[in-house]
Amino acid sequence: MTTIIDGKAIAARYKEDARRRAEVLKSRGVVPCLAVVLVGENPASLSYVRGKQKALVETGMAGRDIRLDESVSEAELLSLIAVLNADVDVHGILVQLPMPGHIRKEMVINSIDPRKDVDCFHPVSAGKFFLGQESFIPCTPQGVEALIRESGIPLPGSHVVVVGRSNIVGKPLAALLARREQNCTVTLCHTGTTDLASHTQRADILVVAAGKAGLIKGDMIKKGAAVIDVGINRVPDSSPKGYSLVGDVLFEEAVDIAGWITPVPGGVGPMTIAMLMQNVVLAAEQR
């Protein structure tokens, strides 16, 4: 029988751990604080920011909610980040992506103090992570690894196939699962992969982070495999909202084949936010 992994329940445990660590810091006069900068009013970004603000409240941490008009200049945004870098009461800085086209994402990411880079996007943060040095761990890959481990899915010796090579999920997740602690054999697939199904059908653990609704069909999954669906796609429908959220995996086909599977929503998403809270607490502890 397939186990549907409850990401919300597992995330709640990690948020509770973050809350307890934040209480210890507050008893010493330090309130962990995350500054979230949002440029413009992208509906998806607004939703993500609300989720992060809610998690900060639940974990007893402070938040700086900074909203900027879409017309803000790159220089003004970089100046704001410099102020936040210098603010000793701010431990983490997160600039919500995507940003308007006139702002260079790399310039913004590179301007964040690596000690406050709780997303682990800065080249220094990412470099330390990939080299296995002490660093933050990117939130979504960290959440995926925790989901697998907490669900009792064997990691050492498993063949993991990751579909998607983004710098945010695919590449760092492949690196994380290949570490000696996890000891997986990892295949990284992408848009240039020939015969994708021939790879996914051999996976003990299949992680899909391609951003394409319904990419993985039931016949592309090995019987009994663990399927972790990172994708979250808006598909138009006749509901009052006008859309529904679906993953990169055809859940209706996969659920009868997989041994474990994450739902969308309610799987990886809550874990990403929980791991962000973990990183904010860690940043405060390190400072």
Task: Extract the tokens encoding 32.
Answer: 């962990």
69-127 pLDDT, tens digit each: 999 999 999 999 999 999 999 999 999 999 999 999 999 999 999 999 999 999 999 99
Phi, psi of 66, deg, nearest 5: -115, 115
**pTM listed for this prediction:** 0.96
139-269, what's its fold? Rossmann fold (3.40.50)
Instruction: Provide the β-strand partners of residue 33.
Output: 62
Q: What is the DSSP string of 229-257?
A: E---EEEE-SSTTSEEEE-SB-HHHHTTT
CA nearest 160: which of 125, 209, 127? 209
Q: What does the domain layout of the chain look like in residue ranges?
A: 30-113, 139-269
Task: Please report, as a single letter, which amino acid is at residue 82.
Answer: A
Instruction: Provide the β-strand partners of residue 197.
Output: none
For residue 199, is pLDDT > 90? yes
Fold match flag (30-113 vs 139-269): yes
CA nearest 279: which of 97, 100, 75, 140? 140
In this prediction, residue 183 carries a pLDDT of 98
Which sign does the torsion angle of CA 149, 153, 156, 161 carry? negative
- What average pLDDT does the segment 212-238 reach? 96
In this prediction, residue 241 carries a pLDDT of 87
2-34 pLDDT, tens digit each: 999 999 999 999 999 999 999 999 999 999 999
Question: What is the C-alpha to C-alpha distance for residues 211 and 14, in angstroms, rounded to an integer?
Answer: 26
Radius of gyration of the chain from Cα atoms? 19
The one catalytic residue in 15, 116, 117, 119 is 119
Using CB atoms within 10 Å of the CB of residue 205, give its burial: 0 to 12 exposed, 13 to 18 middle, 19+ buried: buried
- What average pLDDT does the segment 63-73 reach? 97
- What average pLDDT does the segment 245-258 reach? 97
In this prediction, residue 191 carries a pLDDT of 95
For residue 43, is pLDDT > 90? no
Mean pLDDT estimate for the chain: 97
131-186 pLDDT, tens digit each: 999 999 999 999 999 999 999 999 999 999 999 999 999 999 999 999 999 999 99
Architecture of domain 30-113: 3-Layer(aba) Sandwich (3.40)
In this prediction, residue 189 carries a pLDDT of 98
The one catalytic residue in 96, 204, 248, 278 is 96
Q: Are 34 and 91 in contact, with CB atoms under 8 Å apart?
A: yes
CA nearest 81: which of 109, 53, 104? 109
Q: Is 119 a catalytic residue?
A: yes
For residue 1, is pLDDT > 90? no
